[in-house]
Amino acid sequence: MAESTAFLQPAIPKFDGFYEHWAMCMENLLRSKELWTLIEQGVIVTAKYQGSTKAKRAQLQSLRHEFEVLAMGESEAVNEYFARTLSIANRMTTQGERMEELVVVEKILRSMPSTFNYVVCSIEEANDINTLTIDGLQSSLLVHEGRMKNQKDQSDEQALKIAAGGRGTGRGRGRNTTTRGRGCSNHMSGTKEWMHDFDDSFTESVKLGNDSKMAVMGKGSVKLMIEGRIHVITDVYYIPVVLPKCLQVSRVDESHLWHHRYAHLNMKGLKTLSKNNMVKGLPELKDMEGQCGDCLTGRQHRDSFPKQASWRASQKLELVHSDICGPITPGSNAGNKYFITFTDDFSRKTWIYFLKEKSEAFEVFKKFKVLVEKESKCVVQCLRTDRGGEFMSTQFNEFCSLQGIKRQLTASYTPQQNGVSERKNRTLLNMVRSMMSARGVPKRFWPEVVNWVAYVLNRSPTSALKDLTPEEA
């Protein structure tokens, strides 16, 4: 049995349902064993020269030197470097060298380029190097490599939009723009001296924001220094015209631009910032033509509801308002947590029933209907409620349909449309709290107090009736 200190060969990857990851691991394994060419070209049978002991020692010394000077190139991929390192390590093992996995891991960490410095520090701080596997190290470095690639792509895209040569005084609009342009698809420069790798045989035309066209007299590359690093913009169009003047936007368009940049701040505030030089680079602005459509959309609000209804019932039970109040804590002695009110729109008389669950509302309404129709010799014609589930059940709707009762349902999140019931509940609870506070009544007796308050209100004057009480009406 091989000693535990010998270099551990990477395990054959198992297919876990993600083919691309598995294929990458298999390719790394085969490359490390120098078998990848067999996959690409097929098996070529050749006689392998073993050599003498002296020749093997020389080969091993050469491999040791190659392993020591091994380093990852700046543009080299992580997978390629791992394949190269493992190939040398395996060749050293075949020559009799004892290679521990720790030695390979430490070598890879030491030979990473400077762009991986912080991730190497993070790996050393977060892991025990003595137990870190080659596969685990490779996975961590691949994640970092992917992030670096995304950041580089974003940096290149950002570099394409900055001011050419650091001037940045022009502004572009429309499809084809240059410095600080929005929605740019081509980049242009009016200074030929800034370009290298210039191709004067290239001809093209670009369309500006004012629908005018300009001829392109060549293209080249422009180098930009950004945060100490050089970025190259390729395929920059050369147009022998002073572009800032040609692409200058009007003051009105500029006002729109700064209005959007400052989170739709009003023009008076923008003019104050510009006039008092409170913002560097903010030009003098003029009033915008028309109104900003986005501002009109963002500042919409609901109109206020009228305090008085435009229509009132002309006879008893022509319209009944209903609503459920609760849950009320603590529950009553009988276990009730809710109460439901029925208010006649004509007389404003209120009937109250107590509920243990909201689902009892349907049975309570049937009792109320029988009671009030016997007392008043009238029939319930219309019921106004919110869209609570207790009022929208199939049984409730079918019963009202069979009894010829019209339904008026409020819009969602609009309790103002059921204002009579909502206001009645508020009045009841205000008086209940006042009475219980004045007499120190335990809270669990709230149903008795609610009944008494309703009895008093039905026999008290109301602004909806003239010289009558709800009980008398």
Q: Quickly list DSSP for 140-195.
A: HHHHHHHHHHHHHHHHHHHHTTSPGGGT------SSS--TT-SS-SSEEES-GGGE
What integer best gives the mean pLDDT of the chain? 78
Question: Is 360 in the same domain as 451?
Answer: yes
Of 126-140, 198-212, 354-368, 425-439, which gets the smallest average pLDDT? 198-212
Question: Is 141 in the same domain as 166?
Answer: no
Tell me the three state secondary structure of residue 456.
helix
Q: Token pair for residue 337?
A: 């947590």
Question: Is 404 in the same domain as 444?
Answer: yes
Question: Is 150 in the same domain as 175?
Answer: no
pLDDT tens column, 300-340: 766 666 666 667 788 888 999 999 998 998 888 889 999 99
Give whichever of 152-156, 274-278, 302-306, 412-416 has the largest mean pLDDT. Answer: 274-278
Average pLDDT over residues 112-120: 82
According to the model, what pLDDT value does residue 180 have? 37
pTM for this prediction: 0.41
Question: Is 61 in the same domain as 133?
Answer: yes
Quick check: 131 pLDDT over 80?
yes
Backbone angles phi, psi at 446, to 5 degrees: -60, -30
Pairing of strands 382-385, 320-325: parallel
According to the model, what pLDDT value does residue 339 have? 93
Quick check: 32 pLDDT over 90?
no
- The residue assigned the tokens 């010799």 is 377
Average pLDDT over residues 286-303: 75
Indicate the helix (H) or strand (E) that contains 351. strand 350-355
The reply to whether 13 falls in a domain is: no
Tell me the three state secondary structure of residue 102.
helix
Quick check: 242 pLDDT over 70?
no
According to the model, what pLDDT value does residue 110 have? 87
Average pLDDT over residues 395-399: 91
Question: Is 375 in the same domain as 327?
Answer: yes
pLDDT tens column, 7-29: 556 678 777 767 777 778 887 88
Domain closes at, from 214, 246, 278 = 246
According to the model, what pLDDT value does residue 168 have? 40
Q: How far is CA 448 from CA 68, 260, 333, 431, 438, in A?
A: 92, 60, 10, 13, 15
The reply to whether 123 falls in a domain is: yes
Nearest partner of 450 among 463, 465, 462, 434, judged by Cα:
434
Question: Is 121 in the same domain as 232?
Answer: no
The reply to whether 228 falls in a domain is: yes
The angle, 0 to 180 degrees and rounded to 10, between the axes of the packed helices 78-94 and 53-68 is 150
First to last CA, the chain: 106
Of 101-105, 127-131, 423-427, 445-449, which gets the smallest average pLDDT? 127-131
Quick check: 227 pLDDT over 80?
no
Average pLDDT over residues 459-464: 83
Nearest partner of 116 among 66, 73, 67, 70, judged by Cα:
73
Of 47-51, 317-321, 414-418, which gets the smallest average pLDDT? 47-51
Confidence of residue 5 (pLDDT cuts 50, 70, 90): very low
Average pLDDT over residues 19-47: 71
Question: Is 24 in the same domain as 146?
Answer: yes
Report whether 426 contacts 312 (CB < 8 A): no
Report whether 267 contacts 288 (CB < 8 A): yes
Number of domains in the chain: 4
The reply to whether 23 falls in a domain is: yes
Of 110-124, 294-308, 389-403, which gets the smallest average pLDDT? 294-308
Quick check: 382 pLDDT over 90?
yes
The reply to whether 309 falls in a domain is: no
Question: Is 224 in the same domain as 132?
Answer: no
The reply to whether 90 falls in a domain is: yes
Q: What is the DSSP letter of 282?
A: -
CA angle 391, 392, 394 (to 5 degrees): 115
Quick check: 385 pLDDT over 60?
yes
Of 180-194, 277-291, 361-375, 455-469, which gets the smallest average pLDDT? 180-194
Question: Is 338 in the same domain as 445?
Answer: yes
The reply to whether 348 falls in a domain is: yes
Quick check: 287 pLDDT over 90?
no
In the chain, % of residues over pLDDT 70: 81
Give whichever of 36-40, 185-189, 214-218, 324-328 has the largest mean pLDDT. Answer: 324-328
Quick check: 220 pLDDT over 80?
yes
Of 40-44, 292-296, 352-356, which gets the smallest average pLDDT? 40-44
CA–CA gap between residue 321 and residue 345 (Å, rounded):
7
The reply to whether 361 falls in a domain is: yes
Residue 330 lies in domain: 320-457
In the chain, % of residues over pLDDT 90: 13
Sign of CA dihedral 317, 323, 324, 326: negative
CA–CA gap between residue 208 and residue 214 (Å, rounded):
8
Question: Is 143 in the same domain as 201?
Answer: no
Quick check: 354 pLDDT over 90?
yes
Quick check: 201 pLDDT over 70?
yes
Confidence of residue 257 (pLDDT cuts 50, 70, 90): confident
Confidence of residue 72 (pLDDT cuts 50, 70, 90): confident
User: Of 127 and 251, which is predicted with more confidence?
Assistant: 127
Task: Count CB-CB contacts under 10 A for residue 358.
Answer: 17
In Å, the largest CA–CA distance within the chain is 127
Question: Is 177 in the same domain as 140?
Answer: no
